[in-house]
Amino acid sequence: MTVGIIGHYRCGEHDMGEHHPENGKRLTAISDQLIRSGLDYVVRQFDSKPIDKRLLLLAHTQEHIDFVFDNAPNEGEENFTVGPDSVMNAKTHTSILYSAGAGVDAVDLVMNGSLSAAFCTTRPPGHHAEHDKGMGFCFFNNVAIAAAYAKQEYGLKRVAIVDFDVHHGNGTEDIIRNHFNATPEDDKGYLFCSSYEYPLYPFEIIESDTPPVINTPLAATTKGPDFRKAITEHWLPALRKFKPEIIFISAGFDAHIEDDMSQVSLTEGDYRWITDELKTIVQEHGQGRIVSMLEGGYHLGALGRSVVAHINGLIGN
């Protein structure tokens, strides 16, 4: 499979403050590990383009978009708080545009056949951003924007978004339910599957096995075999029944055993396993098309190794 990595150095400039775990060193750690693994010679690498701001309306209200950009600090101005733990500095505005733009670029490259799959090494992340507010390190929901763009631009009928970050993708669920207006009776062609430690931020989550939302909580004691069992029982049957024409992945690696963000204990092998399972399903129904976007993952060494395992799965190494 021809796999691409899409990102931009400007995504590393967003800064929420000293010692904050969501920082530009995350992208450096991924880049360094790709070089060590030799994957930088195997994948195709692309600079993302800033998103056309009109495309943000695919997943967000005009009021939220205006609120973020109207309050974006200029150089020398104080940081601005958009939502709980979502703080903008003078570089954030640009980082947001390139991060969201990477998802749109990835869709174009996958849909025109230049790539079979793409991984977006971007920040700030997006899966906590709801249709009308930012929160949890997130300002706009990159993966939901890209998924809606795929349906609008390429006429896809069945788009799946899966999220294995250790925190629930509450923003993506909110957008599917309240912006895309998908319901069990009329799913609008979306399926969203999210696994997450519970109880853990953002806390108020309803377990669900009813499409269009499959919410799969994990106990704090969860290890690899338990994770694989939960995904096999809850996600995989729903995805096979849905027959996705493309799969989007909110790829958070903060469930790794070395990551202090949670108590779930996954390893690189678990991330490779779930990548293989998703690839098998989308090869049958969607020509292998996958767009994966970085969400969490804050232990730098574990993050780099986990991303390498994920990309090797996309390639099929």
pLDDT tens for the chain, residues 1 to 317: 699 999 999 999 999 998 999 999 999 999 999 999 999 999 999 999 999 999 999 999 999 999 999 999 999 999 999 988 999 999 999 999 999 999 999 999 999 999 999 999 999 999 999 999 999 999 999 999 999 999 999 999 999 999 999 999 999 999 999 999 988 888 899 999 999 999 999 997 889 999 999 999 999 999 999 999 999 999 999 999 999 999 999 999 999 999 999 999 999 999 999 999 999 999 999 999 999 999 999 999 999 999 999 999 999 98
Please tell me the total number of residues recorded for the chain in this structure.
Answer: 317
Q: To 5 degrees, how large is the angle CA 252–CA 254–CA 257?
A: 135
Q: Which amino acid is at 264?
A: V
Element (H, E) at 226: helix 224-230
3-state secondary structure (DSSP) of residue 4: strand
User: Which pLDDT score, from 0 to 100, does residue 1 have?
Assistant: 66
Domains and CATH numbers, the chain: 5-308 (3.40.800.20)
Express each pLDDT in 226-258 by its tens digit.
Answer: 999 999 999 999 999 999 999 999 999 999 999
Name the β-bridge partners of 246. 159
What is the rounded radius of gyration, in angstroms, for the C-alpha atoms of the chain? 18
- With H, G, I as helix, E, B as strand and everything else as coil, classify residue 133: strand
Please state, as a whole number, how many other Cβ atoms lie within 10 Å of the Cβ of residue 220.
Answer: 12
Q: How far, in Å, CA of 203 to CA of 126, rounded? A: 17
**Which structure tokens are listed for 234?**
């809850």
Query: Which residue type occupies 100?
Result: A
Q: What is the pLDDT of residue 227?
A: 98
Give the closest residue to 109 by CA, choosing from 246, 239, 281, 282: 246
pLDDT per position as a tens digit, 161-195 = 999 999 999 999 999 999 999 888 888 999 999 99
- The pTM of the full predicted model, rounded to 2 decimals, is 0.98
Nearest-angstrom CA–CA distance, 122 and 153: 22
**Percentage of residues of the chain with pLDDT beyond 90:** 94
CA distance 117 to 110: 6
pLDDT tens, residue by residue, 151-167: 999 999 999 999 999 99
pLDDT of residue 186: 81
Q: Please check whether residue 110 is in contact with residue 122, taking contact to mean a CB–CB distance below 8 angstroms.
A: no
Q: Is 199 left (phi over 0), alpha (psi -120 to 50) or beta?
A: beta
Distance CA 208, CA 292 (A): 23
The two tokens of residue 297 are: 């993952």
